[in-house]
Amino acid sequence: MKFVWPPIVKVLDARADKIAEGLAAAERGKNDFAQAEKRVADILAEGRSQVSEMVANAEKRAAQIVEDAKTQASEEAARIIAQAKSDVEQEANRAREALRQQVADLVVKGAESILRSEVNPSRHADLLANLKQEL
């Protein structure tokens, strides 16, 4: 026993140490795995919050773009309306001026006809009737 027992005990002790080291390594692995799971959960939560923030910012930007487009469209519409009013007013002024010119021509024409003919009340009434028809 003296010769056989010490090497067997030594081998058994070595085996026990290896088993203890294996169990300790398994426990450390288990702890590392738990910590890694926690880190993954934290990273996922942070990622989700960043995605939510990005979506909120994108929605705000989209709303701002829509609002800017509405403002621009309103300004453009107001400018077009003002230009159209100005064009209509200019056309009306041109039409009035043309009408004035035509009336002036007719008045001159009527006065010329009256002055060329004799001053006769019936003739004068006929000339005025013709002038009214031309107007």
The per-residue pLDDT for 109 is 80
Is pLDDT at 86 greater than 70 in this prediction?
A: yes
Please give the average per-residue pLDDT across 59-78, as a whole number: 96
Where exactly are the structural domains of the chain? Answer: 4-94
DSSP letter string, 6-55: HHHHHHHHHHHHHHHHHHHHHHHHHHHHHHHHHHHHHHHHHHHHHHHHHH
Neighbours of 126 (CB within 10 A): 13
pLDDT-based confidence at 83, cuts 50/70/90? very high
The per-residue pLDDT for 79 is 96
The values of phi and psi at residue 87, to 5°, are: -65, -45
Is pLDDT at 118 greater than 70 in this prediction?
A: no
**How far apart are the C-alpha atoms of 46 and 43, rounded to whole Å?**
5
Between vectors from CA 113 to CA 112 and to CA 114, what angle results, nearest 5°? 90
